[in-house]
Amino acid sequence: MKITDFSMDYFSLHGKNAIVTGGNTGLGQAFSLALAKAGANILIASIMPDDPEFNALIEREGVQVVYMEADLTQPGVPKKVVSRCIEAFGTVDILVNCAGICLNNEFRQYGRSEWDPMVAINLTAAFEMCHAAALPMIERKSGKIINICSLLSFLGGRLSPAYAATKHGLAGLTKALCDELAQYNIQVNGIAPGYFKTKVAESSVNDPERSRWIVHHTPAGRWGDVHDLMGATVFLASKASDFVNGHILTVDGGFLTR
């Protein structure tokens, strides 16, 4: 391939079909809308209720959106999500594993009631979604999987050992799947958002001292904005990233440099 063959079409997702788990709430909305703006049809698999207003935002981009109520921790549901995407659009080209929860408690009181549901949705469901989506991708020898990791894929983190453990695990799963699926032209990468004002970060947002520390510790000098994640999502879902694989892309305003 010659250098002159490259064009901005490499970033286009027209004709592609994407599944975004948890895609109608929190940062999931940014991932869904970013892919739609680049031209992809979107299947939102979420335990949260359907949101017609958000669906209308996606449809305004000239693409289709399908909502599927889905508890991804239940047996067989990830396979049903992938089947629904293929039924609705014909293929599954992109998977964004965004669905996740964070349950906080002081470690002396932390128990299986917090640990088990977080492992189930943050890690096990993500694995099952990857497995279900990868099978048709392998047949077509093409696909993009994006796992939504965290700064706690690299750091510790008080009050939620399960969140840190599952996000470390998700980063490891991303690299392991890259090692196995790259031979089929499937790219498996992660995005690790920094501090964004979402429900997961609610305790930090509502703590003035903690919030000031986060801003001070971030070289960019601010909390992240959802727009900061959208370009990274499109890049990792597009042809432009075909030789990027097994990478965890931090979108953190430089937080990890300090």
The answer to whether 200 and 167 have CB atoms below 8 angstroms apart is no
Neighbour order of strands in the sheet with 94-97? 65-69, 41-46, 17-21, 94-97, 143-148, 186-193, 248-251
What are the backbone angles phi and psi of residue 97, rounded to the nearest 5°?
A: -90, 95
Among 81, 185, 200, 104, CA closest to 148: 200
Long-range Cβ pairs for the range 44-53 (8 Å, 24+): 44/20, 44/68, 45/19, 45/20, 45/21, 45/70, 45/72, 45/81, 45/99, 46/21, 46/22, 46/70, 46/99, 47/22, 47/71, 47/72, 47/99, 48/22, 48/24, 50/24, 51/24, 51/25
Average pLDDT taken over every residue of the chain? 96
Give the mean model confidence (pLDDT) for residues 68-78: 98
Split at pLDDT 50, 70, 90, the class of 2 is confident
Query: Domains of the chain (ranges plus CATH)?
Result: 3-257 (3.40.50.720)
The top-scoring range by mean pLDDT among 2-11, 150-159, 247-256 is 247-256
The secondary element (H helix, E strand) that includes residue 21 is strand 17-21
Using pLDDT thresholds of 50, 70 and 90, give the confidence band for residue 133. very high
Q: Is 67 a catalytic residue?
A: no
Instruction: Say if pTM beats, i.e. exceeds, 0.85.
Output: yes
Residue 186 has pLDDT above 80, yes or no: yes
The gap between the terminal CA atoms of the chain, to the nearest Å, is 40
pLDDT in tens, 189-244: 999 999 998 777 777 888 889 999 999 999 999 999 999 999 999 999 999 999 99
Catalytic residue among 10, 67, 110, 163: 163
Res 217: pLDDT:
96
Q: Kindly report, residue by residue over 112-121, the tens digit of the pLDDT.
A: 999 999 999 9
